[in-house]
Structure 1
Amino acid sequence: MADVTHTHGKRVSHLTEPTHPLDQLAPSEIERGRVILEREGKLSETSRFPSVMPVEPPKDVVRAFTPGNDLHRRIEYIVLDTATGISVEYIVNLSEDAIERERRVDSDVRPYGQPTYLFEEFEQADQIVRSCPAWQAAMRRRGLEDHLDTAFIGPLAPGFFARDDEQGRRVIRSVTFLKEFETDSHWAHPVEGLLVTLDLTKGEVIRVEDDSDTPTHMGSGNYGPDVAGPDRESIKPIEITQPEGPSFTVEGSKVEWEGFSFRVGFNAREGLVLSQLTVKDGDEERPIMYRGSVPEMVVPYGDTSINRYWISYFDAGEYYLGKNANSLALGCDCLGVIHYFDGSSHDDHGRPVTIPQAVCMHEEDYSILWKHTELGHQPDVRRQRRLVISYFATVGNYDYGFYWYLYLDGTIEVEAKATGIVYNGSGIPGEIEPHRSEIAPGLFSPVHQHLFCARLDLEIDGADNYVDEVDLAQVPMGEANPYGNAFTWTKTRIETEQGRTADNLKGRTWHIGSNSRRNHIGKPTEYQLVSEGLPTLLADPDSFVAARAAFASKHTWVTKYHEEELWPAGRYPNQHAGGGGLPEYIADAESVDGGDIVLWHTFGPTHIPRPEDWPIMPVDAYHFWLKPYGFFDRNPALNIPDWSTRGAGGCCESNSPSDADVAASPCCSSGADAPAEVESMEAQHTGANPSAAAAPPQETPLPRFGVRS
């Protein structure tokens, strides 16, 4: 990724030959691996590629790497024979020009599980449904025969319900929407109570369910200029400029910014990956996170109707988030001085696909970093700034943004944004329904959740860590609390692999600490995970979706590190009977009190749709924080520049032409020049002589975190 182009307002890192073991796959590498499979006779005319993914080398190999060493590049190809429905995993070792491993996917053996869908299978489903006599009859029964050729067929992952005619087969379900014209939003016209289940391998319909006479909603769902009307003239432009350029540097996949260092990766399933994230403290690079990503999410619906009871999309495991990533545009998705990274993916035939400008990186002002005003003195204030690394993926009707924020004080934030178009069904205007809210007359959207799961392979000052669960606690009145005002906190060590639930009434956080390093007060260096603590999975614990999405039943999981344990819901959540992923990983209850451990965190909304979410939903954002807690010896952002001294626009400059106005402002007064009434108030408060010289401050060295070398 060393090839960089520069155009006005942006820079782009293009995919080239890798220079580091954690670089994303280059197009030439995907081609070379495919050639090896073909050479070894593993491909046929009916071979397709649901997945092409990098296989990262072991950690010790990556840590020992120096330029010029073998890159240890391996690729996992999942090859589906569309004629038989059999899938095979191949790991190809590019360094050895050979197939390293071959393993059949047991999609026909309980607990089953299918690879992600091909793009061509969505087209195949459209053709199968449209030619089905039972579907055509259901449309005619509703008086929709004029829409047989123009209806939108929406094929979607079917979930798992232990039905004999579905188990072990490559199944998809299709719902139907109408389109009044070519550019019409079909999401506004759902055909209620019509569901088609089909077998993609045999190319046949398994069943058609038709149980509703509800009229199809025909109100508009369009949101273009012809509907919205003229643009507002009252809103004025905002220009983001950095005349000296950005504060980050990029070399290949490696980024450095204000003490932080990390690598930007990307793959077809997870999308954005950050690796080897460290922070510079003096001359020392201190590790924080070996690898971080959001590798899974589930969208379970709470509606019991035929059209929606089965919906529980795993947008990463069933559809692949990275494969559906957007090409981002300057001034639209990202604003300011931007650096883009292209993204690596693949098509159904195992050929490389480059997603131009898939990842956006830029700096943002973020209000106040710290501030204090001593009475009679000019305020001390510094502006917060953050580095933003993000990408967007569109999966069907929803669009998801994934954002990693790095802050000047060492904080890390992970955020997911949801927008796009809510999923709808038709209904009777004015009716009250227990599982759906009416967002337009006769258009109902079901209650649902978006539960994201981040995988955080942390290494706080090294790979020997522990996790403490920290709760606020009341203290009963008595000898330990004679006045009744006392409260405290408790720490509980998480000793074995398990999942834990947030408790906002206890202010629960999780502290990840080092067993080998202490700060200057003798305590272990730590980061704390701060959760929003929103609802976890609301489906009944005995439901099929609860078995498949067990990761979403807890906020935070702690597991022992194993290099193959990457997926919260398992490798193949599509049509899986359940129990994969985190339930498997914690089944042996390994010790996590020390050593190399991984945190997994579930976050996201429970959405009761509102009329304002239609016809297109304003962004909802959900997040969690990783905050230093005794990692530094004190505030690491004391040496951030005071921009008020850097010319126009500083906090102590006035838009007024009168210098007298500026001189009279308490904000801009030094102690010597403070107005008399302010000095008098300070004297009354402190008992000090206002004319006495203040004692010079005690000088101590500032920490060097944030200083670019």
Structure 2
Amino acid sequence: MHQTRFLGVFGLCGLAPTATLAAVVKPAIGLERRLLHEEIDKRGWSPNDTCVSEESAPATTAPKANIWSAITPEDNAAVWDLLHDPATGLNLTAPGDAVLTDNYVYWIDTVPVNKSDALPYIDGDGPMPPKYARAIIFEGGKEPPISQEYMVGPLPVCEETTVAPLDYIYNGGMGGAVPFNGRHFDSKRSAATEPLITEVMSSIADITVAMFNGAYYGSDDDRTNLTTTSGTPLSFDGTQAFRNIMFRYPGEPHGTASYMIPLDFYILIDCTGTDASKYFLKGIVTGEMFYPSVDEFRAAYDSGEVAFAFQQTRDDNWAMVDYKPELGERELEERFSPSSLELDGKRYKIDPEARYVEYMGWSFYVHFTRSLGIMFYDIKFKGERILYELSLQEAVAQYAGNQPKAANTVYHDTYYDLGTYMTSMVEGFDCPFGATFWDVSYYEENLKVSNPDAVCIFETDMTHPLSRHRAGGGSTDYDFQNMGVVKGSFLGVRAIATVGNYDYAFTYQFHLDGTLQVEVRASGYLQSSYYYPDQQAWGPRIYQATMGSLHDHVLTWKADFDIVDTANSLQVSELKAVNQSQPWFPELGEFEQLQLDISYMEEEKQFNWFPNQQGMYVVVNKDALNQWGEYRGYRLVPGMSDIHLSVLNSPFSLKQNEFSKSHLAISQHHDTEVFANSVQNANLPWKPQQDFSMFFDGESVEQEDIVLWFNLGMHHFTRSEDVPVTLFTEAHSSILLAPQNFFDRAQDGDLKNRRWLVPDEDTGELMVETYGIELPQCPVILEEPADALGTNTETEY
């Protein structure tokens, strides 16, 4: 680690900071749920006359402080002051006044707590781990210019607080630094390329107007009626920088569906370095042709070689997610659709300050970070830890096509601060009525930004039993010995992040039997391309001149298992068809049947699900046996669409996407291997700041502290039904983490929400045991069928 820089005294350690810049709470952004309640009330759906309860979740107290929580607004403001103090030597400029050649703060967040520091505190009497801030600073004034990440702490700021490069969690060779050309393409860099884009497009405005009635004279010019977009990566290894810019109609009248209205017009520019006067045009692309200069493009146009195959629409009404009566009517659709309701009050408890939840034997802490969104720590079931950490690591989307934007684009949504786009949800639609809503917050400069109602917690019906069996007898109502059925429900924790064109809905389901399900669904606009008939290999035509671009979504999670304690192994059970003979079947000779081949993974590696799902991976503790002598463990159960990246050797995703290239991976835990990816990796495919493949260096994973990494996602075979937006029903992926011999029997016998049915031996009368759990009653106004005179009556039940 680099030498620590000692700074001046800002206050006494452990006391409140004395920062001069106050932490200011910005106005909340997004929908306001209380206003939605008012609208619902006006339509007669007030909680006062329905089964919707406004009752808060019962309170509980977290057993320990949430040591994974973000730094406080006061600490953020104090860190901001400290970084800008001349004594630090960072020579910072206020971001609003900065240009490319200045040093300025990009963002401030929280350094993750080392597990080695956390366990002594949460499991015993160890000290509370110190809190540190992390700050990315763009250092355009250095030679050479770089982006450097720092850690600042311990907090609160005091005489012991230091600022040092945050190098230890990255393995790419430059620690927390990345070259200037590979750093985030923020508004300063975008502004630096604007003059060149304006110069090129202004010089050919007569052609673009004639071709597609579009012109670009600069983003602030009233004559401009186009929008620009360019994806990532914008560099390969940090020695160069480029933008492959696509033009689109902004959409009229709404101006929000530009993703769906692409034009077949691109300019490619080189924007290497901090001197914008040296940026230059690499070429123009249209009609599947490349023109290295403006003069060559103009000559081709004048000769009649350049023309649009299809006229694109400017209208975006067709791409709005509103009611479309032209599609027809559905009978009875005027009735409110069924909803899952907590009829008997909430069955989970929360400590909202600690972000701590308890539910039917489960307990866990929730943390939020600007780049990853919600994360879970110290997940226990019936008092025993299952997972130390469960967290999203990255959401990758890689596109394909015979056009510069589609072929070039590989998105990392953490690069765009995925967590900051977790915004308000609509009660009763995004989450069930009566759900508990939590705000999330992060920092912009020295200010706190709050997104209201961005996380919801709810219990919901599974719509199928947890378990059931009808034992013995025939098919008549009473011709059986007994029947038991257990009601199924789970606790859901959900957040939806709208990152650009896509809405990712993340749901974590805590089931009554000790199973934990992770689910992601995708909706939103396609990043589409201009349609050409000869490009069907990259997607279908979905509108007038729009093609749905083929792409992969791969989302990576970290699951740090601690089954009973930190010493765990990965058991591999493979189903094999084997030939064998058995002496009681002499007439068969050798015959084929299933057999389990059980082994244990020895070293760190990346690996895939078995073909035909003929294998089972279980995290076990060889030092912990259940009553029957079996290793206690948790199984990884693939759900829907557990995929990895299709393209493994693309120059645009060569090394910065290693975590996306296998279904699963296992590594030994290290405090230095916190994240699978870096928030600054997107522009460094050839020389990443964080190379996930370097985690796998031959270390043992037998009875060690191990981490499982898994991928969910979907190969997006685009279709007409992606208009206006992709549907959650199809774009869905999941995995289950389920007990495998962790207990001595299924964890459903202690649940009272069940029915036990036994016929009386003498009378045949059906005896039903309810265990005192009855259906709660609530007032519901139902409309009776019309009577003979054609009038309706209302009855309260």
Same fold? TM cut 0.5 = yes
Please point out which of 418, 441, 452 is paired with 2:555.
Answer: 452
The one of 745, 755, 760 equivalent to 1:634 is 745
The match for 1:539 is 647
What is the CA deviation profile of residues 209-265 of structure 1, one whole-angstrom value per residue up to 9, with x for unaligned ones?
Answer: 323243452165422547455986723323443243211111121111010110011
Q: 1:95 to 1:169 in 2, by over 3 A?
A: farther
Matched residue of 2:612: which SS?
Answer: helix
* Most deviating of 257-266 and 376-385: 376-385
Alignment-derived partner of residue 502 in structure 1: 609
| Cα separation, 2, equivalents of 1:517 and 1:563 | 25
Q: Is the 8 A contact 1:261 1:278 kept in 2?
A: yes
Q: Which whole-Å CA distance do the structure 1 matches of 2:361 and 2:330 have between them?
A: 42
Of residues 159, 164, 178 in structure 1, which corresponds to 2:249? 178
Q: In structure 2, how many angstroms separate the alpha carbons of the residues matched to 1:172 and 1:9? A: 51
Instruction: Give, as a single letter, the amino acid of the residue that structure 2 aligns with 1:411.
Output: T
Note the alpha carbon deviations across 1:295-337, whole angstroms, 9 max, x for none.
1121111223222111111112x21211222222322321132
Equivalent residue number for residue 294 of structure 2: none
Q: Which one-letter code corresponds to 1:260 in the other structure?
A: W
Measured in 1, the distance between the counterparts of 2:608 and 2:188 equals 39
| Cα deviations by residue, 1:443-494 (Å, 9 ceiling, x for unpaired) | 2112110011111111111100011222211112546995635201222311
The answer as to 2:524 corresponding to 1:420 is yes
Is 1:88 matched with 2:148? yes
Q: In 1, Cα distance between the equivalents of 2:325 and 2:141?
A: 48
1:99 to 129, 152, 162: 162
Contact map agreement 1:52 1:76 (CA 8 A) in 2:
yes
The alpha-carbon deviation at position 89 of structure 1 amounts to: 1.7
**SS of 1:31's equivalent?**
helix
Tell me which residue corresponds to 1:463: 566
3-state secondary structure, aligned to 1:489: strand
Q: Does 1:64 align with 2:120?
A: yes
Query: CA separation in 2, counterparts of 1:228 and 1:136?
Result: 44
What secondary structure is seen at the aligned counterpart in 1 of 2:492?
strand
Q: Structure 1 residues 328, 55: CA separation in 2 closer, same or farther (over 3 Å shift)? A: same
- Tell me how far apart the structure 1 counterparts of residues 599 and 418 of structure 2 sit (CA, whole Å): 36
Aligned pairs for 1:155-194 (under 5 A) are: 155-158=230-233, 160-161=235-236, 167-168=238-239, 172-184=243-255, 185-194=257-266
Q: Does residue 358 of structure 2 align to residue 256 of structure 1?
A: yes
Q: Which residue of 2 aligns with 1:518?
A: 625
2:148 corresponds to 1:37: no
Q: Is the 8 A contact 1:188 1:217 kept in 2?
A: no
> Higher mean Cα deviation, 95-104 or 568-577?
95-104
- The whole-number CA distance in structure 2 between the counterparts of 1:108 and 1:58 is 17
What amino acid maps onto 2:191 in structure 1? Q
Q: Secondary structure at the match of 1:574?
A: coil
Contact 1:560 1:591 in 2 (8 A): yes
DSSP 3-state at the match of 2:548: strand
* Contact 1:436 1:445 (8 Å CA) reproduced: yes
CA gap of 1:381–1:288, structure 2 versus 1, over 3 A, is same
Report the CA distance between 1:107 and its aligned residue: 10
Shift of 1:60: 4.0
- Residue 290 of structure 2: aligned partner: none
Letter in 1 for 2:703: G
Aligned-pair RMSD on alpha carbons? 3.4
Structure 1 CA distance for aligned equivalents of residues 454 and 56 of structure 2? 13
Q: Check the 8 A contact 2:604/2:666 in 1, yes or no.
A: yes
Partner-residue secondary structure (3-state), 2:441 = strand
Instruction: Say which SS state the counterpart of residue 475 (structure 1) adopts.
Output: strand
Aligned to 1:594: 703
1:3-41 deviation per Cα after TM superposition (whole angstroms, max 9, x unaligned) = xx999737699xxxx943112333223222212212344
Aligned: 1:331 with 2:331: no
Which of 364, 368, 375 is equivalent to 1:266?
368
Provide TM-score, normalisation by structure 1: 0.81
The range that moved more, 571-580 or 197-206, is 197-206
Question: CA separation in 1, counterparts of 2:323 and 2:460?
Answer: 33
Q: Which residue of 1 aligns with 2:69?
A: 23
Query: Residues 547 and 81 from structure 1, CA distance in 2 versus in 1: closer, same or farther, beyond 3 angstroms?
Result: closer
- Code of the residue aligned with 1:304 in structure 2: it is N
Cα 1:513/1:20, change in 2 over 3 Å: same
Q: Secondary structure at the match of 1:245?
A: coil
SS in 2 for 1:360: strand
Letter in 1 for 2:226: A
AA aligned to 1:494 is M
The aligned residue for residue 637 of structure 2 is: 530
Check conservation: 2:231, 2:410, Cα contact below 8 A: no
Q: Is the 8 A contact 2:608 2:663 kept in 1?
A: yes
Aligned to 1:439: 542
Q: CA deviation at 1:187?
A: 2.4
Which residue is 1:9 aligned to? 54
CA distance in 2 between counterparts of 1:550 and 1:448 reads 17
Q: Aligned pair 1:674/2:764, yes or no?
A: yes
Structure-2 separation of matches of 1:623 and 1:505? 17
Give the SS at the match of 2:420.
Answer: helix
> Matched residues in 1 for 2:322 and 2:152: separation?
50
> Which residues in structure 2 correspond to 1:110-259 (within 5 Å)?
114-118=182-186, 120=187, 124=191, 127-128=194-195, 131-134=198-201, 137=204, 139-140=208-209, 142-145=211-214, 149-158=224-233, 160-161=235-236, 167-168=238-239, 172-184=243-255, 185-197=257-269, 199=271, 201-203=274-276, 205-207=279-281, 208-212=283-287, 213-214=307-308, 215-218=310-313, 220=316, 221-225=318-322, 227-228=324-325, 234-235=332-333, 236-237=335-336, 238-251=338-351, 252-259=354-361
Task: Identify unmatched segments of 5+ residues in structure 1.
Answer: 646-666, 679-693, 695-709
Q: Percent identity?
A: 19
Instruction: Tell me which amino acid in the other structure corresponds to 1:491.
Output: I
Q: Deviations over 1:265-303 (max 9, x none)?
A: 1001110100000111xxxx2111001111112111122
**Structure-2 change in CA distance of 1:573 and 1:68 (3 Å):** closer
- Asked if the contact 2:364–2:376 (Cα under 8 Å) also holds between the matched residues in 1, the reply is yes
1:564 lines up with 2:672 in the alignment? yes
Match of 2:786 in 1: none
Pair 1:311-2:406 in alignment: no
Q: Provide the secondary structure at the position in 1 that maps to 2:622.
A: strand
CA offset at residue 83 of structure 1?
A: 6.1
Q: 1:181 to 1:442 in 2, by over 3 A?
A: closer
Q: Distance in 2 between matches of 1:606 and 1:393?
A: 20
Partners of 1:670 and 1:77 lie apart in 2 by 72
Q: Tell whether 2:713 aligns with 1:610.
A: no
- The alpha-carbon distance between structure 1 residues 398 and 225, as it changes in their structure 2 partners (threshold 3 A), is closer
TM-score by length of 2: 0.73
Task: Please identify, of 403-412 and 569-578, the stretch whose mean Cα deviation from structure 2 is larger.
Answer: 569-578
One-letter amino acid of the structure 2 residue matched with residue 88 of structure 1 = Q
The equivalent of 1:475 in structure 2 is 578
Letter in 2 for 1:101: A
More deviation, 569-578/107-116: 107-116
CA contact (8 A) 1:549 1:578 kept: no
Helix, strand or coil at the partner of 1:476 = strand
Per mean C-alpha deviation after superposition, the further-off stretch among 145-154 and 508-517 is 145-154
> For residue 72 of structure 1, what is the amino acid of its counterpart?
P
Distance 1:617 1:179 in 2: 20
Alpha-carbon displacement from aligned partner over 1:617-672 (angstroms, at most 9, x marks no partner): 11121011111000011001112123559xxxxxxxxxxxxxxxxxxxxx785555
Quote the Cα distance in structure 2 between the aligned partners of 1:128 and 1:95: 44
Equivalent residue letter for 1:211: T
Q: CA deviation at 1:96?
A: 5.3
SS in 2 for 1:603: strand
